[in-house]
Structure 1
Amino acid sequence: MHELIEKDRALLVFLNNLGNVGSDPFWLLITGKWIWIPLYIIFLYLLFKTYKPKSLIFIVVFIALGITFTDQIAGVFKYGIARLRPCHDEELIPQLRMITCGGKYGFFSSHAANSFFIATFLSILLAKKYRWLPMGVFIWASFISYSRVYLGVHFPLDIIFGALVGFLSGGLFAEFTKIVLRKQQVI
C-alpha cells in the first residue's frame, strides 16, 4: 500500500507540474460549481424533451438523491480514511506548481463522484435519443475531475475512486429511476 501511495504522490507532482500560468484560469473556471448551471439547464431541457412532465419529477428527485448519496459517502470516506489533501502535506507542497485547497481530507473526490454520477445517470436515461451525449458528458466529467489534480486539490487515486463511485451510483440510481417510471407508468 505504501508503494501505491508513493506512486500516487509522484503522479500528482507530474500532472500538477504539466500546467502553466496561461492555462490556470481555464482550470480554475472548470472546477467551479456555478459555471455549469447553463449546462445543467440544458440537461434538464433534454430530459424534458425525452420524458413526460410527470416523469421529470421522479427523475429530478433521483438525481438529487444520487448526488446527495455520492456527496455524503465521500464525506464518510474522507473522515474515515483521513488522507490529507496535497495542500496539507508539508513535504509535498514545495514540489507542486499550483495548489488550491479544500477541507483537510481528500479521499475521495466529491467533484469526481458527482460529475461521474451525472454523466452515468444521464447517459443511461438519454443515450437512446441522444447518441452523442454519453461521450460528451464523460469528457465533461473527466475535465472536472482532472481539474482537481491540476489545482493540487486531490491525488489521482482520489479522482479515480471518486469517478468509480460516481459511475456505479449513477448506474444504480438510473436503474432505480427506470423501475419507478415503469411502475408509475409515466415513461
Structure 2
Amino acid sequence: MLEFLEELDRKILIFVNGHHNSFFDGFMYWCSGQYSWVPFYVLLVIILAFKLKWKAVPFVLLVALLLTISDQMASSVFKPIFHRFRPSHEPGLENLLHYVNNYRGGMYGFVSSHAANTFSLAFYFFFAVRSQLPKITVLLFFWAALVAYSRVYLGVHYPSDVIVPIVCIAILNGFIIAKLYLFIIKKYFSKQD
C-alpha cells in the first residue's frame, strides 16, 4: 500500500510539474514567494481592524503564535524526523522535473511549511471569525490551496507534502488558537458588545 501511495505521489507530481508554461511559471513562482503576499496581509489586517474593531488586536497577535507553531511543527519536528528528500533533491527524479529560476528549495520537504502556515491561517479564520468574515474565510482557503499547489507545480514538494500538514497540523492548530481567541474575547471584550 505504501509503495502504491508513493508511486501515486510521484505520478501526480510529474503530471502537475509537467504541465507548465511561461505564464504559470512566473505566477506560481510568485505565489510561493516569501514577500509576494505582503500587500494581501496588509489588506487583511485593515479588513480585520474595520470588521472586528479592538477584537482585531488579539486576533492578529494570535496569528503570530499560530504561524510560529505551524512553521516550527513543519520545519523543526516533521522535517528532521522524516528526512524525506524534496522531489527536487530526490536521486532519479530531480532530473525529470521542470524548475523555475532554478529554484529547488532545501534538502527535505516533508512536510510543507507553506501549506502548514497558509492552511493554519485559513482554519483559524474558519473556527474563529467565519460568521463575521465569510468571504475572507473562503478566500483564505482558496489562497492556501493556490500556495500549496504552487509548491507541487514548482517541483519542490510531493502532493503528500502539502496534504499531510493540512490534516496533521493546520486543522488542530487553527482550532486551538481559535478557541484561545474566543476565550480572550469572551473574558475581556464581552462587556464592550
TM above 0.5: yes
Moved more, 70-79 or 114-123: 114-123
User: What amino acid sits opposite 1:127 in the alignment?
Assistant: R
TM-score normalised to structure 2 length: 0.89
Q: How many Å apart are 1:148 and its aligned residue?
A: 0.3
Q: Which residue of 2 aligns with 1:179?
A: 183
Count of paired positions: 186
- Pair 1:103-2:106 in alignment: yes
In 1, distance between residues paired with 2:143 and 2:56? 23
Deviations 1:14-59 (A, max 9, x none): 1110112332011111111211111111111121122232x33321
Q: Which residue of 2 aligns with 1:29?
A: 30
**Aligned partners of 2:88 and 2:97 also within 8 Å:** no
Q: What pairs up with 1:1-187 in 2 under 5 angstroms?
A: 1-53=2-54, 55-75=55-75, 76-98=77-99, 100-164=103-167, 165-185=169-189
5+ long unaligned stretches in structure 1: none
TM-score normalised to structure 1 length: 0.92
Q: How many Å apart are 1:96 and its aligned residue?
A: 1.4
User: What amino acid sits opposite 1:46 in the alignment?
Assistant: I
Q: How many Å apart are 1:80 and its aligned residue?
A: 0.3
Aligned-residue sequence identity (percent) comes to: 34
**Aligned partners of 1:50 and 1:126 also within 8 Å:** no
User: Aligned-pair RMSD on alpha carbons?
Assistant: 1.7
